[in-house]
Amino acid sequence: MTSIDTSHTEWLPLFPLQTVLFPDGILPLRIFETRYIDMVRECMRLDRPFGVVAIREGNETGQVAQPEPVGCSAAIFNWDMEVGGLLMISTRGGLRFRVRETRVLADQRLEARVDYLDADPVVELLPEQIDCGEALKAITDDFDQRVGRNNAQDYPFALPLRLDEAGWVANRWSEILPLALKTQQQLLELNDPAMRLTLIQACLKQQQILQG
C-alpha cells in the first residue's frame, strides 16, 4: 500500500504533464526520460507516491516546466520495462494537494512541499444529476460487455465503481470528456463535488451527451 506523508516536511517528486489527474483516476504513463525513470524507481523502492501536476508553462521534456498550483498524488500499482528501456507504469490518483514551495534538482526534476487537501465528502447525486450517473453507467456497462473485469489492472476506471457519488462521477467525466487542460485544472481545484458535477452536466448537455 503506497503511503503518503502529510507532515508537510517531505519533498514530493513532481511529474509535470499535459494532463490532469483526478482522485481515483487511472493514469497509464510511458516514461522514456532518464530523470523520470529514476524518479519512478525511487518511488517504487520507497513505496511512495509522486505528484502529477498540469503544466502551466513549458513542455513535458527538456527544462523543467512551471506547474499549476494544485495537483494530485499518484500511486504506482503496475509497471513493466519494455525493450529499449521504456518504462510503462499504471498509477491511481490519491489526494489532491496544493504546492507550497518547489525546488529543481540537478537533473531538472521538480520537487515540492505540499499541503494535502481533504478528500471529497461523500455526496450523493442530486435528483437532477441522476442522468450524469446513468450516462456514465452506460459507458461502463458497454466496456464490461466487450472486455469484462477479469483483470482490474486493465480496467479504465478504479474499482469499485461509485456511480452514486457526485465527486466520483464528476471526476470520471472530467477525465474522459474532451475538455481543455485549463478547464480540467479548474475542475480539479473545486472543493465542492456537487458544483463540480453541475459544471460537468452543463458540458454534457452542450456536447449533446445529455438532453438539454
Residues of the chain with CATH 1.10.4060.10: 127-206
Contact 88, 28 (CB under 8 A): yes
Return mean pLDDT, the chain: 91
β-pair partners for 182: none
Q: For 127-206, which CATH class?
A: mainly alpha
Q: What angle do CA 61, 55, 65 make, to 5 degrees?
A: 50
Which one is predicted more confidently, 207 or 146?
207
Q: Where are the alpha helices (DSSP H) in the chain?
A: 34-46, 130-146, 166-176, 181-189, 193-206
pLDDT digits (tens, 9 = 90+) for 145-201: 887 776 656 678 888 999 999 999 999 999 999 999 999 999 999 999 999 999 999
From CA 105, how far away is CA 107, in angstroms rounded? Answer: 5
Residues of the chain with CATH 2.30.130.40: 12-116
Residue 10 corresponds to which cell in the numbers above?
517531505
Q: For 12-116, which CATH class?
A: mainly beta
pLDDT value at residue 194:
95
- pLDDT exceeds 80 at position 84: no
Mean pLDDT computed over 106-112 = 93
Confidence band, pLDDT 50/70/90 cuts, at residue 58: confident
pLDDT value at residue 114:
97
How buried is residue 1: exposed, middle or buried, by Cβ count under 10 Å (0-12/13-18/19+)? Answer: exposed
Contact 129, 201 (CB under 8 A): yes
Query: How many other CB atoms sit within 10 Å of the CB of residue 128?
Result: 9
Quote the pTM value.
Answer: 0.91
pLDDT value at residue 151:
62
C-alpha dihedral sign at 177, 116, 80, 155: negative
pLDDT digits (tens, 9 = 90+) for 12-43: 999 999 999 999 999 999 999 999 999 999 99
pLDDT value at residue 65:
87
- pLDDT exceeds 60 at position 7: no
